Amino acid sequence: MNELHDKTNRSLDGRTVLVTGANGGLGEQFVRQALERGARKVYAAARKPKGREDRRVEPLALDVTDSGAVARAVASAPDVDLLINNAAIAPGGDSISGPEDELRRIFETNFFGTLRVANAFIPVLGANGGGTMLNILSAAAWISVPTGYAASKAAMWSATNALRLQLLGQGTQVIGLLVGMVDTPTSARWEVPKVSAASVVAQAYDGVADGAIEILADEQTRGLKSQLSAKAEQFYPWLHEQLKFFVA
């Protein structure tokens, strides 16, 4: 149990949730399971939001790379007490040695965009009792996958930890969710073991309810965490064996 947060701040019953990237595999599950767990309202945010049958779901136009769109989202959703920063991109052919413009595009969404939304909603969460911020990260934040995506998630992992300390005073629960390959359209090009989106989201919401600050959503990520204290001379040969499908 996390002693930093009051028990009343851990339930989805009656909570108001905003999910970015709500049209995707994980995003859809975050919307669906929030309703199943008793959320009062869910803002389903996406660049091109789709219609929803459930009247508790409010589609919300949001491009996280557009500061004006983020400001409009804040004005439209002043009752949010659970912010889920899920929007991200993982382009095909992504390489850490790729064109600088492409790397900037990845960072603009995955790092600057996520941080832009997080910072914009800090006063909203504070006004609604502190609330919860859940940032969807990746096990790639801890490993040497040679992609802009991995680098952007490493940067956002650091920012998530910094936000947790910054927002302690207003009682905001800041959670980092780390996971390896999730079975969504984004990961379809990789023929590797994957965890279901439903399982990841269930663990995420369990973590919200339990007052967690870090959630490791699959066995691979939990195994990786256990190796991080190893000497670099031991860790990187081990890691290379695990990532042959990325670096071959």
Show which residues are catalytic.
149, 153
Select from 196, 156, 188 the least CA-distant residue to 175: 156
Task: Decide: 59 and 74 in contact? Cβ < 8 Å.
Answer: no
Instruction: Specify which residues 182 forms β-bridges with.
Output: 195
Select from 49, 11, 10, 9 the least CA-distant residue to 27: 49
User: Given the DSSP bridges, would you call strands 182-183 and 173-178 parallel, antiparallel or unpaired?
Assistant: unpaired
User: Given the DSSP bridges, would you call strands 182-183 and 195-196 parallel, antiparallel or unpaired?
Assistant: parallel
The conformation of residue 109, written as its DSSP 8-state character, comes to: I
Give the DSSP letter string of 177-212.
EE-S-EESGGGTT--S--EEHHHHHHHHHHHHHHT-
Which one-letter amino acid corresponds to residue 124?
V
The pair of structure tokens assigned to 129 is 């009792």
Residue 96's SS3 state is coil
Distance CA 140, CA 49 (A): 28
Give the DSSP letter string of 114-151.
HHHHHHHHHHHHHHTTS-EEEEE--GGGGS---SHHHH
